[in-house]
Structure 1
């Protein structure tokens, strides 16, 4: 075909889902990269994949990038191919990846001006060269090279460069960067940084570690699903568990230690915000969010969560859950790699302090934490220290909430690795959770009018199962519960959540939406799937009602209740949680008198 003649456009879908810039350490590499998610049968064909790789390499070489690194990952719908690229050429790298795949499979269905033509390699090369030239920022590269040589951490996004972190950092807009000689290098350095990821327990572990660092004298900033908190005060509200939240904390000039909740979505969409961290933890892996960004199963999820290890150097510590078989298997197989490609130092926690893995790790001088005879112990490999009586630890609900004991063990190991004394760790665990503001939305409890009410973020089967265990231990009265889920979960995930709810044999279920989290579904669609699944599990239709707004769903459950009942309220949106918590606070203050009078606070 002539170079100046574009082919006709057939009515067929694009052979890829999306391409993404990975601006930090990621699932594939410890450095920035671009990745394309190719779809369809051809994306699993060995010959097509070989042509794709060859096209990427040859075009990258033509652009002067040399021998780029490639990483490939198959998934249920196709294959991901990632390539390393200069930090100021990542947009061009995504275009290159798309061009290479379309050229490899002969897909010429669309072409827009300014994008490389898949049917003409020569024209595509000139287009990509123009894109690279337009994106190039030599001043940025010079500053990054200088900061790397000086050991000064750098933080980069589409608008700003930060050198140093927190109280020892300085930021400049990308269109007004200084010359390296004009940077006050002597004033710039890092601060202690912790990364917290996992399927469940991330926010609680983040808050616990932040409290331990603050008790040790740090001005702590932390980001999580509820916002950005600096020095105990909220500076942002909402879900800030991705790279933007991390940067918000690390650019605050007050912060002397940072704890960054690191959610799966941000890891897979953009990579880590920070190139280096001092400690990191993977709390656990549980079924959730499958089918997005090429993650189809627990093995893939474990790999994604372990991306945090790529930010750790020789002196970094990775804390892992020894009760999670996938994390153990990856450690045993030597599949966990730090920033330099070598395994980081490991620390393990488990329910049982004397579990074989923990004993062996201590014998080799490693950090570990777990429970023996009701006491949470921490060991540095040479000595043991009791850091909590689990029965009296407020966060553990009398020792019943085993998952919060695990969160405390993880946070204690992180804090110890960051230099917090065990006595300080113990002091925090002895009080944390006694004030509702310590851990809002996570295992909050109210008692009034003969009722026990538990509100929690439980958002997947494992999280809900743990919450229901606590509820059943709290009393033997009727169990009432709210049940809902975000709209971006597939139906099979909704049915799995309903199965856990049905196991607890609730007397009454209020089905709800999560305010603001329809994510492509129509109102009530999630509730309909949950109802069908509960019916199939033997929950009578008469024992269920659908009330979509979260706060009104909670009021409906309260109106149904009577003294002796235990109510479980997974409430997820921040607005609804605040409204429900205020209502429950007032009912507890009045001893439930308002409810017994047939009214509820805040009801219309």
Structure 2
């Protein structure tokens, strides 16, 4: 593809140098760039992403044949000057890969909690119905039956569009994507033509990035406003917003979209509603009452929050014309998501659960669900990420103390922060419930914290290890190290039982 053709997509772009050169790819990461590619210098996001303009020279050294930038830079290759390089990155990437979302039914899921589980539930239902699907999110990118690891949830436009193109080329007809607030704010999903936007909930998170809850909700609102402003008499071209009627933010999102709105909920009247909910240690059953009829549903996951996730998935599936009978079969066959209330079982007489809950609402929902199945004590291991919203730390400490019999506070991903300071911030919330430290302890070493929790567990207890879920690493001040809560827990259980660690 010629640089001239790409530059023409940006009406006010100025090309300095020869525009008649061939572009073989697009990248915004100088260390991942291949020879022949166009390097886009995206602007920085303080505390999250570096300005890429200073790396233009490195990109040329790595083989970039042209640069897109917001201001003049000294390099020996053509430069395309644009006003907004992030927007340009999305425009160029979508065009380079042939607008693949136009050839897919694309469903996006956004919200603070439940994105991953809801997206995987939708995918499971669609697969049960016979569709070949693509899935993009926190666990990675799945094309058909093949899963690829990814480094971030909502990917940068060149990677995202390349993955959508690969899905199309490999025969996928429908794809489900987790859409984060940071991804929306950074313009990563610009150029993706979504059929449906699914909203789970809004609770406190990412305030280190957005600053206020109002700005956080506004970022989510971008997803729904970008569904478009038109209507169609072609059912295949209609757009849908699937909203949680029990979440106050839905009233804001409803006003931002011209799409058809369908709602789900438990407390409020909604288009899709759960009744007769039965929560058990083995799973959940409920009656779903919808605009398409009524059916009994079962899902092998516990907790009221998973009823909401299931309702969101049911509504998204109804939009695609699936019957309640097919949806019921898909949910019943759903195996769960790695790191979401995942059981670590080595034959021990107590339950060990690993979960990704890393927000106040997520931890609250998790521990409330665990209380419903625990026969004896609840022992909770958790921490909070460094270089992130400090205000949620005491809140999460208070929640852990409220719903646990014993708490081991530890490191999560401390990043550049002093782990001990993070623990102290959390302890402030714990001390609101417990004046003395006889019901909790602080241990910065996460492996030691898991060891302590498993060592003190008695028959019938539940050990909850929260915060990292499926993650197989820990980000510290000295770099990223290998760390998997599930592996560590499994090894400590085996050691306690006199076995050999893996």
TM tier, smaller: 0.7 to 0.9
Is the contact between residue 358 and residue 467 of structure 2 (CA under 8 Å) also seen in structure 1? no
The residue correspondences of 1:165-180 to structure 2 (distance < 5 A) are 165=100
Shift of residue 415, structure 1, vs aligned partner: 1.7
Q: Which residue of 2 aligns with 1:302?
A: 217
1:272 matched to 2:189: yes
1:574 matched to 2:471: yes
Q: Aligned pairs, how many?
A: 410
CA distance in 2, matches of 1:495, 1:351: 30
The residue correspondences of 1:463-478 to structure 2 (distance < 5 A) are 463-478=362-377
Is the contact between residue 129 and residue 330 of structure 2 (CA under 8 Å) also seen in structure 1? no
Unaligned runs of 5+ in 2: 1-8, 15-37, 45-53, 55-68, 83-87, 232-237, 278-285, 474-481
1:320 matched to 2:243: yes
Q: Quick one: structure 1 residues 193 and 378, their matched pair in 2 at CA, closer, same or farther if it must change by over 3 Å?
A: farther
Which of 410, 419, 426 lines up with 2:328 in the alignment? 426
Shift of residue 209, structure 1, vs aligned partner: 1.0
CA distance in 2, matches of 1:565, 1:472: 10
1:229 matched to 2:142: yes
Secondary structure of 1:474's counterpart equals: coil
1:601 matched to 2:486: no
Is the contact between residue 246 and residue 273 of structure 1 (CA under 8 Å) also seen in structure 2? no
Is the contact between residue 480 and residue 566 of structure 1 (CA under 8 Å) also seen in structure 2? yes
Is the contact between residue 451 and residue 566 of structure 1 (CA under 8 Å) also seen in structure 2? yes
Shift of residue 157, structure 1, vs aligned partner: 5.1
Is the contact between residue 322 and residue 349 of structure 1 (CA under 8 Å) also seen in structure 2? yes
CA distance in 2, matches of 1:263, 1:281: 12
The residue correspondences of 1:98-497 to structure 2 (distance < 5 A) are 134-135=79-80, 156=91, 161-165=96-100, 189-244=102-157, 246-252=160-166, 253-254=169-170, 255-293=172-210, 295-297=211-213, 299-313=214-228, 314=231, 315-331=238-254, 334=255, 336-337=256-257, 343-352=258-267, 355-356=268-269, 358=270, 368-374=271-277, 375-380=286-291, 383-386=292-295, 388=297, 392-395=298-301, 397=302, 401-433=303-335, 438-446=336-344, 448-497=347-396
Shift of residue 487, structure 1, vs aligned partner: 1.0
Q: Which residue of 2 aligns with 1:3?
A: none
Moved >6 Å (runs of 4+)? 127-131
In the TM superposition, what whole-angstrom CA distance separates every residue of 1:477-505 from its partner, at most 9, and x where no partner exists? 1221112111133332111111111211x
Q: Quick one: structure 1 residues 551 and 431, their matched pair in 2 at CA, closer, same or farther if it must change by over 3 Å?
A: farther
Secondary structure of 2:463's counterpart equals: strand
Unaligned runs of 5+ in 1: 1-31, 34-59, 64-87, 96-111, 113-126, 138-143, 145-153, 167-188, 338-342, 359-367
Is the contact between residue 242 and residue 262 of structure 1 (CA under 8 Å) also seen in structure 2? no
CA distance in 2, matches of 1:330, 1:446: 39
In the TM superposition, what whole-angstrom CA distance separates every residue of 1:438-461 from its partner, at most 9, and x where no partner exists? 411011235643212222111111
Is the contact between residue 274 and residue 311 of structure 1 (CA under 8 Å) also seen in structure 2? no
TM-score normalised by the chain length of structure 2: 0.72
Shift of residue 221, structure 1, vs aligned partner: 1.4
Q: Quick one: structure 1 residues 546 and 406, their matched pair in 2 at CA, closer, same or farther if it must change by over 3 Å?
A: same
Is the contact between residue 353 and residue 464 of structure 2 (CA under 8 Å) also seen in structure 1? yes
CA distance in 2, matches of 1:441, 1:523: 23
Q: Quick one: structure 1 residues 379 and 529, their matched pair in 2 at CA, closer, same or farther if it must change by over 3 Å?
A: same
Alignment RMSD: 3.6
In the TM superposition, what whole-angstrom CA distance separates every residue of 1:100-141 from its partner, at most 9, and x where no partner exists? xxxxxxxxxxxx9xxxxxxxxxxxxxx98978x94269xxxx
CA distance in 1, matches of 2:127, 2:198: 19
In the TM superposition, what whole-angstrom CA distance separates every residue of 1:44-74 from its partner, at most 9, and x where no partner exists? xxxxxxxxxxxxxxxx99x9xxxxxxxxxxx
Shift of residue 198, structure 1, vs aligned partner: 0.1
Q: Which of these two proteins has the greater Rg computed from alpha carbons?
A: 1
Q: Quick one: structure 1 residues 578 and 519, their matched pair in 2 at CA, closer, same or farther if it must change by over 3 Å?
A: closer
Secondary structure of 1:524's counterpart equals: helix
Secondary structure of 1:370's counterpart equals: strand
Secondary structure of 2:407's counterpart equals: strand
